Amino acid sequence: MQKVILVVIDGLQYETALTQMGFLNHLVEKGKAAHLKVISELPSMSRPLYEVLLTGTPSSVNGITSNQAVRLSKEQSLFHLTREAGLRNGAAAYYWVSELYNRAPFHFVEDRQQYDESKPIQCGSFYFEDAYPDSHLILDAEIIRRKQDPHFLYIHPMGLDHAGHVYGSNSKQYRGRAIEMDVILANLLPEWMDAGYQIMITADHGMNEDGQHGGTGDAERHVPFYAIGSAFQPGSYSESMPQLAVAPLVCKLLGINPSEAMITHSYPFLVG
């Protein structure tokens, strides 16, 4: 059975990934990864797009229309679907993800670390400070991977989004955080690749020069998508992919049925 790691780098703009993330683009250049552009849904805000990525449904359907929609999702997420299929899942993510799928509002003591097979997110490590170091978050995820061995692991660092809000996307701080994230991934990707994972790296939304997102501009909606593993045909693809296609792709890779609300999409970069 294939195992999937989905990394969502909060606030990573497409052009910044293309110009600053040397190791990821090295893998594309050397025929070890596929790369294409994803067009995010609207509004290009965090909580609505977490729901898009994890349920494959738009805001007009799922009702998560802003960052202020603090409630459990009513949709079938990838966490629900994997659990129901008898697979293990895990997440190292911002606490809003826990609020969408395990409990809302977030209890800062009880919900920081969660290990409960009856919950949609069975193994969870959640942070609540936007400046929480990406290096720590990635290691939180790696501990879950090594100790719990989930079939589906969701990893969600926030450092780039935080730098973008403080300094704007056209800043050395924002670009520096992209480089830092690339270096962190470079230290773990070879191990994940050797272990046979199907790995996808993308973002919820981008960032504009004012340090904002939520609108319709390319800087806010265009995000990268890197795919690494035996299921993917390497190369740089000119086609763009709708963000709604990510969740059903995870289902396809895991060999589980998508929810009825998910779209049907073809993937030119899939083997076979």
CATH number where 203 lies: 3.40.720.10
Contact 268, 235 (CB under 8 A): no
pLDDT above 80 for 1: no
In a domain, 141, yes or no: yes
- 16: CB partners within 8 A, 6+ apart: 169, 174, 175, 178, 206, 207
In a domain, 265, yes or no: no
Average pLDDT over residues 100-118: 97
In a domain, 13, yes or no: yes
What's the pLDDT band for 116 if we cut at 50, 70, 90? very high
Task: Summarize pLDDT for 55-66 with one digit per residue, the tens.
Answer: 999 999 999 999
Number of folded domains in the chain? 1
User: What is the residue range of 170's domain?
Assistant: 4-254
In a domain, 47, yes or no: yes
Report pLDDT for 167.
Answer: 98
State the Cα–Cα distance between residues 181 and 179, nearest whole angstrom: 5
State the Cα–Cα distance between residues 246 and 89, nearest whole angstrom: 17
Report pLDDT for 7.
Answer: 99
- 19: CB partners within 8 A, 6+ apart: 175
State the Cα–Cα distance between residues 164 and 251, nearest whole angstrom: 32
Task: Summarize pLDDT for 221-269 with one digit per residue, the tens.
Answer: 999 999 999 999 999 999 999 999 999 999 999 999 999 999 999 999 9
pTM of the predicted model as reported, rounded to 2 decimal places: 0.98
Report pLDDT for 58.
Answer: 98
Contact 237, 269 (CB under 8 A): yes
In a domain, 133, yes or no: yes
In a domain, 88, yes or no: yes
In a domain, 268, yes or no: no
In a domain, 8, yes or no: yes
